[in-house]
């Protein structure tokens, strides 16, 4: 029980098997809360493409898990009135897997590749040519008789999504005409998301509770929605059905989530850097092993939020805990460590 509760935040980033995520997923740009700049830009590009009756330029969506990349991709499909085909890079194993899709796309349709940083190099080449020239190279025959033919494909829009923009090769990156960097959501944006979700789920929640929940949601809509559902359970069983401030406080305590949205593993990561590695720098792999976390979830889920909150820094030599982290954990800061870093590195 305890274990399940503890993992409410982190397990969310690994899968989207939550059936109800679909009913909470906005379907239009107008329904997509927050991220004003991204929405404004996208709506202009979409409108222009529609007016010219052209395919939208290729779109690259970057951001931590749960911030709305998949949601935005399907919204773009809706707004363009286009067919959308979704896959993820690890599912594309052989050139023929990719060629099979590319030769079947229709004019103006959308092809969404999730986790695009995991594309195999051999397939990446094929994708470059498809994105730029709307053609694919295909080898027929074998040995000395083998030859390459170019097959034209319809003009399509590629939407690539990644949590790790740094791992996408620059030739691929440069072929996207539109890049959207999705940032963690502000409190007010989360408040609108929670209000919208509560309405859809028919969950009763008062204003103070909405604000508290927004603060505990790690800047992430998926977490806000996930927590809202748990709070509704708590309110039903422990209260009178309405989610109040008291219900939120008691529930977050049970879930091990503090008022900033940090969970036990976040504090554990910071404590480990400070106590085992003198505040850092420590390599990501070593750190992941020390805290018993997969490197992926450390890098994709935990670190971005800790960095945004100013508790952690990524340096070329590894991860470093900031003085804010010492303060958070009530550990005295050994400033000598900082001086050493200045001299040595």
Ligand X SMILES: Nc1ncnc2c1ncn2[C@@H]1O[C@H](COP(=O)(O)OP(=O)(O)OP(=O)(O)O)[C@@H](O)[C@H]1O
Tell me the catalytic residues: 69-70, 114, 163, 222
Among 35, 70, 157, 265, binds Mg ion (CB under 5 A): 70
Residues in 232-291 that interact with Mg ion by CB under 5 A: none
Distance CA 33, CA 318 (A): 35
The SS3 of residue 259 is: coil
Contacts of 5 by beta carbon, 8 Å cutoff, 6+ apart: 254, 255, 256
Pairing mode of beta strands 84-88, 110-114:
parallel
Judged by beta carbon distances under 5 to 8 A according to partner kind, the member of Mg ion, ligand X, none in contact with residue 33 is ligand X
Q: Given the complex with ligand X, which of 71 and 272 has the nearer CB atom?
A: 71
Q: Given the complex with ligand X, which of 71 and 109 has the nearer CB atom?
A: 71
Only segment of 49-57, 61-69, 103-111, 289-297 that touches Mg ion (CB under 5 A): 61-69
Q: Given the complex with Mg ion, which of 66 and 279 has the nearer CB atom?
A: 66
Secondary structure (DSSP) of 217-248 = STT-HHHHHHHHHHHHHHHHHHSSSEE-HHHH
Only segment of 64-72, 124-132, 227-235, 257-265 that touches Mg ion (CB under 5 A): 64-72
Residue of minimal Cβ distance to ligand X: 68
Only segment of 65-73, 151-159, 243-251, 332-340 that touches Mg ion (CB under 5 A): 65-73
* CA proximity to 5, closest of 222, 242, 257, 210: 257
Judged by beta carbon distances under 5 to 8 A according to partner kind, the member of ligand X, Mg ion, none in contact with residue 26 is ligand X
CB of 232 to ligand X, least distance (A): 15
CB of 64 to ligand X, least distance (A): 7
Judged by beta carbon distances under 5 to 8 A according to partner kind, the member of Mg ion, ligand X, none in contact with residue 218 is none
Six token digits for residue 343: 């001299």
Angle between helices 264-276 and 284-291 (to 10 degrees): 120
* CA proximity to 58, closest of 150, 209, 178: 178
* CA proximity to 227, closest of 82, 56, 11, 37: 11
CB of 119 to ligand X, least distance (A): 16
CB of 58 to Mg ion, least distance (A): 18
- Residue 2 · residue 49 · CB < 8 Å: no
Could you give the C-alpha distances from 124 to 10, 59, 127, 135, in angstroms and in order?
30, 16, 5, 14
Distance CA 256, CA 264 (A): 6
Residues in 177-206 that interact with Mg ion by CB under 5 A: none
Binding residues vs ligand X (CB under 6 A): 13, 16, 21, 24-26, 32-35, 63, 65-71, 163, 193, 221-222, 225
Q: Given the complex with ligand X, which of 36 and 53 has the nearer CB atom?
A: 36
Judged by beta carbon distances under 5 to 8 A according to partner kind, the member of Mg ion, ligand X, none in contact with residue 309 is none
Q: Which residues bind Mg ion (CB under 5 A)?
A: 69-70
């Amino acid at each position: 029980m305890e274990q399940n509760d503890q993992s409410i935040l982190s397990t969310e980033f690994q899968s989207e098997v939550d059936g109800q995520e679909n009913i909470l997923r906005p379907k239009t740009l107008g329904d997509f809360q927050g991220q004003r700049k991204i929405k404004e830009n996208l709506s202009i590009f979409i409108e222009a493409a529609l007016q010219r009756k052209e395919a939208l330029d290729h779109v690259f969506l970057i951001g931590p898990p749960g911030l709305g990349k998949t949601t935005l991709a399907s919204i773009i499909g809706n707004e363009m009135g286009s067919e959308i085909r979704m896959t993820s890079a690890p599912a594309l194993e052989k050139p023929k897997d990719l060629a099979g899709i590319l030769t079947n796309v229709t004019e103006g349709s959308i092809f969404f590749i999730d986790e695009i940083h995991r594309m195999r190099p051999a397939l990446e080449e094929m994708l470059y040519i498809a994105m730029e020239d709307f053609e694919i190279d295909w080898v027929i025959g074998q040995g000395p008789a083998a030859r390459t033919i170019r097959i034209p494909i319809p003009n399509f829009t590629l939407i690539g999504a990644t949590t790790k923009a740094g791992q996408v090769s620059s030739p691929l990156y440069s072929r996207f005409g539109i890049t959207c960097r999705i940032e963690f959501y502000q409190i007010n944006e989360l408040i609108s998301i929670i209000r919208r979700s509560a309405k859809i789920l028919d969950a009763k929640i008062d204003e103070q509770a909405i604000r508290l929940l927004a603060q505990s949601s790690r800047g992430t809509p998926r977490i806000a929605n996930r927590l809202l559902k748990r709070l509704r359970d708590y309110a039903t069983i422990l209260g009178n059905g309405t989610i109040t401030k008291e219900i939120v406080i008691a529930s977050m305590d049970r879930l091990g989530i503090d008022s900033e949205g940090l969970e036990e593993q976040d504090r554990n990561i910071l404590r480990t850097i400070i106590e085992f590695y003198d505040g850092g720098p420590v390599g990501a792999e070593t750190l992941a092993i020390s805290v018993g976390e997969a490197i992926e979830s450390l890098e994709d889920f935990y670190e971005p939020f800790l960095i945004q909150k100013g508790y952690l820094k990524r340096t070329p030599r590894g991860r470093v805990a900031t003085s804010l982290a010492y303060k958070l954990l009530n550990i005295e800061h050994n400033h000598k460590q900082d001086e050493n870093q200045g001299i040595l590195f």
